[in-house]
Amino acid sequence: MLSPLLLGVLASAIVFEFINGFHDTANTIATTVYTRALPVRTAILMSAGMNFIGALTSEKVAMTIAHGLVNVPLELYVILAALLGAIIWDLATWWFSIPSSSSHALIGSLIGATMMFTASVGTVEWSGVCEKVVIPLFTSPLIGFCIGFLLMKVLLEAFAYWHPARASKLFHKLQIASSLVMSYSHGNNDAQKTMGIITLALIASGVLPEGSGVTKLDTALGFAAQVSSAVAIETMTALGAPVSTTQVLTTSIMGAGSVRGAKKVKWGMAGSIFTAWVVTLPATIVLGGLCAFIIGLVM
């Protein structure tokens, strides 16, 4: 029988994933809706379906969250604290319209809660955090930017002599396909993070044994950005690295948009977004530790 605390953790995981839905998943359909390739309702339904399929396709990212970040068995209240810390951060950044990473919020909060629980920094797999979190934090947006730039440059050369109306019609269709791929990639990486937290909770409760295995958009630019994002995210998923869809898609749009000139990209806004990305991990480490401390007082 599931304990009340485990049920609370599972409920919090579902709440986090719901918040992640309106915080992050909108990124996968943003370019499609903006360019009117699909109506909002249709785009949402298609995205939901492909996210679900993506979440069931692989378990590498889930295993990274469950086994690759901390090296000590955790009590359920610590996992609950990690989820609450991430939820608080996600809601705060959503309220202030800051495009932060739900992925890094969850990871940072888990690290902070674990350090507070053990009163030690040695219980965190810092090599795993560096390899699977910190390095992809910088490399995945860079990959998205570069692929977006190169793909958009190729598309401009290839379709330079097409009539604009004809090219727009073609890319409306292609963007629907790229949106599906992007949604699948989001599910294949982002949704697994919550699956990893649930796995941690089930292990902690004994249910599972330890070790279970920013620019003006058009249809062409939207297509290039979505394809670039999907490629970058799938690459990181294959490596088991939990990356931020927000980061990758944003830099892919910037890369594609910069083909038409650096002035087409709002670099000031990009700088603000980058600052939010860098701040998220340390801020949620503190927030996760604080939540673990408060919950620990009443346990």
pLDDT digits (tens, 9 = 90+) for 127-139: 888 888 888 877 8
**Whole-angstrom distance, CA of residue 222 vs CA of residue 253:** 7
Per the structure block, which two tokens stand in for 23?
């915080």
Is this structure's pTM higher than 0.85?
Answer: no
- Helix (H), strand (E) at residue 23: none
Q: Which residue is it, tokens 């697994």?
A: 192
* Alpha carbon distance 235, 251 (integer Å): 16
DSSP 124: B
- pLDDT band with cut points at 50, 70 and 90 for residue 287: very high
How do residues 83-134 score in pLDDT, each as one tens digit? 999 999 988 887 877 767 777 888 899 999 999 999 988 888 888 888 888 8
Q: Are 117 and 297 in contact (CB under 8 A)?
A: no
Q: Would you kindly state where each structural domain of the chain is located, as residue ranges?
A: 4-298
